[in-house]
Chain A
Amino acid sequence: MERSNISSKFAPELHNMLNILHELQNDNLQNYLSSEDLKWVANYLNTTYSSVYGVAKYYSMFSLTPRGKYIIRVCKSPLCKMIDGEHIIKCIKEKLKIGIGDTTNDSLFTLETSECLGHCAQAPVMMINDKVYKNLNAQKIDKILKSIIK
């Protein structure tokens, strides 16, 4: 992980905290923030470990435990839920044999839920890393997951 890259990109000022945490997490192959990362940020921003931990823990996009290479975020907003969203979550759970918040044994996928992802006209939707998948159904889920696993 290139922390020197971060110090050249962001000034050591507290307001850069979230952008820095995003960057560190994105650079980590296991998509998480290690306690070493948090210590480094605390030191870099001249603040306490606990305040960095408090921020990292508060925001749902940050993880303090290792995750899979692909993070699946299924939208569970009231609208997606109404348009069969729960069935989508059930499908993924069954296919990957994991629960919400879990990572598959091969460290490929982590399943999470998310609040409204802002694609309500094509509900139900999910994101896998940066990509949005819309108008989901069981067949589509199957195809999407297979294309990643292959």
Chain B
Amino acid sequence: MIAETRIALKNAGKYKPEDISTYIDLGGYKNAEKALKSKPEDIINWIDEAKLRGRGGAGFSTGQKKRFTNEAICDKCLQKYVICNADEGEPGTFKDRIIMEMDPHLLIEGMLIAAYAIGATKAYIYIRGEYTQSISKLHIALKQAKEKGFLGKNIFNTGFFLDIEIKLGAGSYLCGEELTLLESLEGKRGYPRIKPPFPAEKGLFGMPTLINNVETFAHIPYIIEHGVEHYRSIGTENTPGTKIFTISGDVKKAGYYETSLGVTLRELIYDLAGGIKQDKKFKAAILGGAAGTFVDHTVLDTPMGYDLLKERGAVLGSGAIMVLADDRSIFEMTYSILDFFKHESCGKCVPCRVGTTQLLLLMNQAKHTKSDRIELLNKLLAEAEYMDQTSLCPLGQSPILPLKSIKQYFESQF
């Protein structure tokens, strides 16, 4: 029986998010103090050596991101920025909301350390407009952190200063993509940018910008506190540390669970989430949300890590796990997912705008006729393949993920 290992959720439920003194009683902001009294290069090295990978979905090395942002060459560089991507919108994902609602100060502390490491004095939290609870908790937390001197000028008498501001999204899934987020944060429509340049080089207002997910920031104070070696001892060799999994659908105890990486899907579904509702049989799990992958029972014992899942044609993504019992229809679920992509395509680039519409059109045609579903799946794949090759941003490149995995695991049941 597996147990939870908590890093990002280590304080969840242990203090009052509206009262900073209860956070300080837990040792809060001690790690930020330790970090601000160390050399910025050392912090970057620690995070790099700890092999912390972005918890938003892509799994990019956080240390590398910091290094690139730190080393960004810019003659007219007036300002560097740190941005927290709190535009959580991947279907089935709610880990960032839990952190922000239960432990907003951990996020602030993580951002403070990151900002110091790269030399940024201004930071933003871009949060989706629908997360009203998270927004109000963060407003209170930021105000209190400022009053206590953890934000503002001359923090811990080191001369370092940082201001963190909240920016609201307004209902666009695409704005969770980092370059689109920048456009939105600058006050524009959520249209993606062409990359390169990457944000580390030219980000917000054309300045070097570090963008990390909420959960990623929540790991930083822990690494500062316990050191690289300890952090590396948790999880797997290539993906150390923990991950919050949000399990939903046909399980008895849906919810959020943080475990060491390398945990198996079977342990998550049967040990932590209590197994399938009404003791039905397991049919599928969708890993990583809509821009994720379907897997069947043969993946139940594969250790969850970015690389190990990739070998099985699956992704870890945001940590979302949507579980389907054996009476659920793969076709119906695929329909919902493709409907979602069509709705969220911004329309800027033709392959995605036309492609997402075409995918849904094909599904609609098949819905009411008993056409050859295998042929349909191949058509969908061909369409998604060219979208993947030609679309401007990850949205148009996403439909291929679920479709390919359906071909691999559920072709006969589509």
Residues in chain A within 8 A of chain B (CB atoms): 13-19, 21-22, 45, 51, 54-55, 58-62, 73, 77-79, 81-83, 114-123, 127, 130, 132
Partner of A82, one of B169, B172, B249, B290: B249
Contact B248 A19 (CB under 8 A): no
Q: Smallest Cβ distance from B30 to chain A, in angstroms?
A: 31
B343, CB-defined interface residue at 8 Å = yes
B residues in contact with A22, CB < 8 Å = 129, 168, 170
Q: Digitize B85-99: 1 where CB-to-A-CB distance is under 8 Å, 0 elsewhere.
A: 000111111100100
Q: Smallest Cβ distance from B185 to chain A, in angstroms?
A: 6
B residues in contact with A119, CB < 8 Å = 94
Q: How far is the CA of A121 from the CA of B133 in the complex (A)?
A: 17
B246, CB-defined interface residue at 8 Å = yes
Contact A18 B187 (CB under 8 A): yes
Q: Which of B333-341, B378-386, B393-401 contacts A (4 or more CB under 8 A)?
A: B333-341
B residues in contact with A14, CB < 8 Å = 186-188
Contact B131 A118 (CB under 8 A): yes
Q: How far is the CA of A18 from the CA of B190 in the complex (A)?
A: 11
Q: 17 A-B residue contacts at CB 8 Å? A: A14-B186, A14-B188, A18-B184, A51-B188, A58-B172, A59-B190, A61-B130, A78-B92, A78-B322, A78-B333, A79-B249, A79-B322, A82-B336, A114-B171, A115-B91, A120-B320, A121-B255
Q: How far is the CA of A39 from the CA of B303 in the complex (A)?
A: 56
Please name the residue on chain B nearest to A60 by beta carbon: B171
B residues in contact with A116, CB < 8 Å = 89-93
Contact A77 B247 (CB under 8 A): no
Contact B171 A81 (CB under 8 A): no
- Number of residues on chain B facing chain A (CB within 8 A): 49
Q: How far is the CA of A16 from the CA of B172 in the complex (A)?
A: 17
10 closest A-B pairs by beta carbon, nearest first, are A17-B187, A59-B170, A60-B171, A78-B336, A120-B248, A121-B254, A61-B171, A118-B94, A61-B170, A14-B187
B344, CB-defined interface residue at 8 Å = yes
Contact A121 B94 (CB under 8 A): yes
Residues in chain B within 8 A of chain A (CB atoms): 88-94, 97, 129-133, 167-173, 184-190, 205, 246-249, 254-256, 286, 290, 320, 322, 324, 328, 332-333, 336-337, 340, 343-344, 346
Q: Smallest Cβ distance from A18 to chain B, in angstroms?
A: 6
Partner of A21, one of B170, B256, B286, B337: B170
Contact B172 A59 (CB under 8 A): yes
Contact A115 B190 (CB under 8 A): no
Q: Smallest Cβ distance from B258 to chain A, in angstroms?
A: 14
Task: Pick the most buried of A58, A118, A130: most chain B CB atoms within 10 A of its CB.
Answer: A118
Contact B97 A118 (CB under 8 A): yes
B residues in contact with A54, CB < 8 Å = 189
Please name the residue on chain A nearest to B129 by beta carbon: A61
Q: How far is the CA of A48 from the CA of B172 in the complex (A)?
A: 22
Q: Smallest Cβ distance from A63 to chain B, in angstroms?
A: 11
Contact B246 A62 (CB under 8 A): no
Contact A16 B246 (CB under 8 A): no
Q: Smallest Cβ distance from B309 to chain A, in angstroms?
A: 20
Task: Pick the most buried of A13, A62, A115, A132: most chain B CB atoms within 10 A of its CB.
Answer: A115
B residues in contact with A21, CB < 8 Å = 170
Q: Smallest Cβ distance from B137 to chain A, in angstroms?
A: 13
Please name the residue on chain A nearest to B344 by beta carbon: A115
Contact B256 A115 (CB under 8 A): no
B residues in contact with A121, CB < 8 Å = 94, 246-248, 254-256
Q: Smallest Cβ distance from A34 to chain B, in angstroms?
A: 17
B residues in contact with A73, CB < 8 Å = 130
Contact B343 A115 (CB under 8 A): yes
A residues in contact with B185, CB < 8 Å = 15
Please name the residue on chain B nearest to A81 by beta carbon: B336
A residues in contact with B131, CB < 8 Å = 118
Contact B167 A19 (CB under 8 A): yes
Contact A18 B336 (CB under 8 A): no
Question: Other CB < 8 Å A-B pairs besides A120-B93, A127-B130, 7 of them?
Answer: A15-B205, A58-B172, A61-B130, A115-B340, A115-B343, A120-B320, A121-B246
Please name the residue on chain B nearest to A47 by beta carbon: B187
Contact A18 B168 (CB under 8 A): yes
Q: Given the known A-B contacts A14-B186, A19-B167, A82-B328, are A118 and B93 also in contact in the complex, defined by CB atoms under 8 Å?
A: yes
